[in-house]
């Protein structure tokens, strides 16, 4: 799967104009407030069980505060509602980060007219949204492609910057794997005929708009499981807190001398206190941020120009065990390059270099250009052009002859496959030395590609073999380091190539992959994926052709190139708008960052709740049970200030963690045990310490308010 140079050179950096990850634009925060308030609707909030319980508690507390109003009661009610709003704000901000991009995408779709061909061949003008599956449209230079489809006639240069953000145009032509076009892109030159492959409302842009706005985001299996766990913990705490009221009444009965203000058993205040305590003890922090973490994970993919068809795919990327990577364009640069000239005995290196350069001047392939450059840089030959040799007769490469070359002043030069050049030398009356076979076999065994150079020196001269050009696939810089990182994460990398096993092994050893599949066919790829999955492993792979579609559909994470066929894009669960096969490694890292962020904030939240439990309960019941004073290490001012301080801290910490939820916890490749230890030390210990410090500081301020005696 080779990638054209212009497309392969696309930057890996995000092209989205959204706010950088982790930063909250105050203007965006303000714009998200109405959305956060709209999410207070119970029909929306019930999908988040933890925050739904908080909202029910806030409603009940509001009623109690109306029945028996107090400063303390109304302060608690206000912060309970702020807790729900802050939780909704986290999700609203995460969704709002994609709205600017969605708006620009809508503009590319709006008001586009299509030139649809009728059955008689005549053209009719129709709005783009009215196009149906199978319609044929004509698009010429300067016009916007009205819908997703395949080029069935013609070739054109297309500007895809409206979708990918990349200004470099790409070539789209009928037939092959570069025929797919996307609605909203612009034809820069020539004329193409496109067959629409989308249904109304299901275009690539429609799906991308729904993605960046979060409209079609479905909860992933891990997210659902965590929601169930949080709901279970919430129910447990509901029963635990419910037992405190009868306990307080019983204790008050046995301690009649304790004032109500200290025992917190007055009817109205007691109900509000129970709700406040419940909200502080249930996992509200992770419950508030869980949805935002998932949306932000998909947003990070969008910033890298990757369209995920579902959150499940992003999550699966974080759990991937096996990476199937195409050699060409992913591990190697995609073009073989000259690395050495190996002359035969009796032939000088300068003579071979001169012949190799001359025979390659008219060869416009990357391999041919690399030979010319290598001869200039390593043998001091000046750059020559075919124009300087106007009287020369150039022999273009053909699949039949498997050779190219030049006839110049009776001097014949040929360059090509070893067997083809050897046969040509013999046909010209020359002989092929045994030495050639050993050189060719040595280069092939090392993973290179040998091109043999032969000549006939002048009219009536003897045909002879001059030597061999060593072409090799150049492994991309830094690939070995990246594969080492994958190995640290427990991910097995497999290189897929159509090369012979010897060549494949040489490239695999140089790149540092764990395994390789040589002479791979579509059936071989599919069989390998099924074999890996049968062993309980999750598999990720990239592809762009129709023949890749079965494997992309079978893989747990199938990343289709945007330049590929419609079949490939439909089969995969992600589409890379940059068509950069190496993006798969970044996708895996983003998926792992998503899982690590969720785990880190869950650890922090649960540790937070435990700390708040030990901070609040002693302050609440120290009047009834003086022995609890030993546990009141923060020395909070009063039971009322303890409760209010905890509720305020509980709300503020949600806002404080929104940037971390959006940016994600910094990911460094390491083993699962090291990641667990890091989470426990940093977020577990931090979750225990933070409430003690935060609640104490808030208490110093709260105790100055009326009703906090």
**Does 548 belong to an annotated binding site?**
yes
**Does 399 belong to an annotated binding site?**
yes
CA gap 68, 336 in Å, rounded: 82
**Does 544 belong to an annotated binding site?**
yes
**Does 404 belong to an annotated binding site?**
yes
Give the rounded distance of the alpha carbon of 68 from its chain centre: 53
Q: Where are the alpha helices (DSSP H) in 365-471?
A: 366-379, 418-427, 434-445
Residue with tokens 């806030």, as numbered in its chain: 58
**Does 699 belong to an annotated binding site?**
no
**Does 260 belong to an annotated binding site?**
no
**132 contact partners, CB below 8 Å, separation of at least 6:** 196, 199, 200
Picking from 518, 507, 542, 544, the residue whose alpha carbon sits closest to that of residue 332 is 507
Q: Are 335 and 370 in contact (CB under 8 A)?
A: yes
**Does 398 belong to an annotated binding site?**
yes
Residue with tokens 């013609």, as numbered in its chain: 154
Q: Are 311 and 223 in contact (CB under 8 A)?
A: yes
Structural Rg of the chain based on CA atoms? 34
Per the residue annotation, which of 326, 556, 576, 578 is the catalytic one? 326
User: Read out DSSP for 628-678?
Assistant: GGGG-TT--S-HHHHHHHHHHHHHHHHHHHHHHHHH--------HHHHHHH
**Does 415 belong to an annotated binding site?**
yes
Q: Which two tokens stand for residue 417?
A: 């496959």
User: Strand pairing of 574-576 and 557-561?
Assistant: parallel
Picking from 408, 404, 349, the residue whose alpha carbon sits closest to that of residue 380 is 349
Give the rounded distance of the alpha carbon of 398 from its chain centre: 41
**Does 328 belong to an annotated binding site?**
no
**292 contact partners, CB below 8 Å, separation of at least 6:** 90, 91, 93, 94, 658, 661, 662
**Does 363 belong to an annotated binding site?**
yes
**176 contact partners, CB below 8 Å, separation of at least 6:** none
Q: Facing residues of 449 across strands?
A: 471
Residue with tokens 């030049």, as numbered in its chain: 406
Active site residue 326: yes
Is residue 398 helix, strand or coil? coil
CA gap 51, 109 in Å, rounded: 37
**Does 397 belong to an annotated binding site?**
yes
Provide the annotated binding site: 363, 367, 397-404, 415, 544, 548
* Active centre residues (catalytic): 326
Provide the annotated binding site for ATP: 363, 367, 397-404, 415
Provide the annotated binding site for Mg(2+): 544, 548
């Amino acid at each position: 799967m080779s990638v054209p140079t212009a497309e392969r050179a696309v930057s890996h950096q995000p092209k989205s104009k959204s706010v950088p990850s982790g930063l909250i634009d105050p203007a965006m925060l303000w714009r998200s407030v109405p959305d956060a308030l709209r999410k207070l609707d119970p029909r929306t909030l019930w999908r988040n069980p933890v925050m739904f319980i908080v909202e029910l508690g806030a409603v009940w507390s509001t009623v109690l505060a109306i029945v028996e109003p107090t400063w303390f009661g109304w302060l608690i009610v206000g912060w309970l509602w702020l807790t729900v709003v802050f939780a909704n704000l986290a999700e609203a901000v995460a969704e709002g980060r994609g709205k600017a991009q969605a708006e620009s995408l809508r503009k590319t779709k709006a008001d586009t007219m299509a030139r649809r061909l009728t059955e008689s061949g005549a053209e009719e003008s129709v709005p783009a949204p009215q196009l149906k599956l199978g319609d044929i449209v004509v698009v010429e230079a300067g016009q916007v492609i009205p819908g997703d489809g395949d080029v069935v006639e013609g070739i054109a240069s297309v500007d895809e910057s409206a979708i990918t953000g990349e200004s470099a145009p790409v070539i789209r032509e009928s037939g092959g794997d570069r025929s797919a076009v996307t609605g909203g892109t612009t034809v820069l030159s020539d004329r193409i005929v496109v067959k629409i492959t989308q249904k109304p409302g299901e275009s690539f842009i429609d799906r991308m708009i729904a993605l960046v706005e979060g409209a079609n985001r479905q909860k992933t299996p891990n997210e659902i499981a965590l929601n169930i766990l949080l709901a279970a913990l919430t129910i447990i705490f509901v029963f635990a807190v419910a037992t405190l009221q009868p306990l307080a009444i019983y204790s008050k009965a046995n301690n009649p001398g304790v004032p109500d203000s200290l025992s917190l058993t007055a009817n109205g205040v007691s109900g509000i206190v129970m709700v406040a305590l419940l909200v502080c003890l249930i996992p509200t922090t992770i419950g508030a941020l869980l949805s935002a973490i998932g949306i932000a994970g998909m947003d990070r993919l969008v910033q890298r120009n990757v369209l995920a068809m579902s959150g499940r795919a992003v999550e699966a990327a974080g759990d991937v065990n096996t990476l199937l990577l195409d050699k060409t364009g992913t591990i190697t640069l995609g073009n073989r390059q000259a690395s050495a000239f190996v002359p035969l005995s009796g032939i000088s290196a300068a003579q071979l270099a001169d012949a190799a350069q001359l025979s390659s001047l008219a060869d416009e392939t990357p391999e041919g250009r690399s030979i010319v450059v290598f001869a200039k840089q390593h043998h001091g030959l000046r750059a020559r052009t075919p124009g300087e040799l106007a009287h020369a007769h150039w022999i273009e490469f053909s699949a039949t002859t498997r050779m190219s070359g030049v006839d110049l002043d009776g001097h014949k030069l040929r360059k090509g496959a070893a067997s083809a050049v050897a046969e040509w030398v013999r046909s010209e009356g020359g002989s092929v030395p045994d030495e050639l076979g050993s050189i060719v076999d040595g280069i092939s065994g090392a993973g290179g590609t040998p091109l043999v150079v032969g000549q006939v020196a002048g009219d009536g001269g003897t045909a002879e073999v001059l030597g061999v050009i060593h072409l090799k696939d150049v492994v991309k810089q830094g690939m070995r380091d990246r594969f080492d990182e994958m190995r640290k994460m427990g991910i097995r990398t497999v290189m897929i190539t159509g090369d012979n096993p010897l060549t494949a092994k040489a490239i695999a050893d140089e790149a540092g992959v764990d395994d390789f599949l040589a002479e791979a066919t579509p059936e071989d790829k599919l069989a390998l994926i099924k074999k890996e999955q049968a062993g309980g492993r999750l598999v990720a792979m990239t592809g762009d052709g129709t023949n890749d579609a079965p494997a992309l559909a079978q893989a747990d994470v199938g990343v289709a190139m945007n330049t590929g066929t419609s079949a490939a894009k439909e089969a995969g669960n992600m589409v890379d708008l940059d068509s950069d096969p190496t993006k798969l490694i970044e996708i895996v890292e983003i998926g792992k960052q998503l899982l690590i962020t969720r785990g880190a904030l869950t650890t922090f939240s649960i540790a937070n709740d435990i700390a708040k439990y030990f901070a609040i309960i002693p302050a609440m019941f120290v009047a009834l049970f003086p022995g609890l004073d030993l546990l009141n290490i923060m020395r909070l001012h009063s039971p009322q200030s303890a409760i209010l301080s905890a509720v305020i801290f509980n709300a503020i910490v949600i806002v404080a963690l929104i940037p971390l939820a959006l940016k994600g916890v910094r990911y460094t490749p390491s083993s699962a045990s090291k990641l667990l230890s890091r989470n426990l030390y940093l977020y577990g210990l931090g979750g225990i310490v933070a409430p003690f410090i935060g609640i104490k500081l808030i208490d110093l301020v709260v105790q100055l308010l009326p009703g906090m005696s």
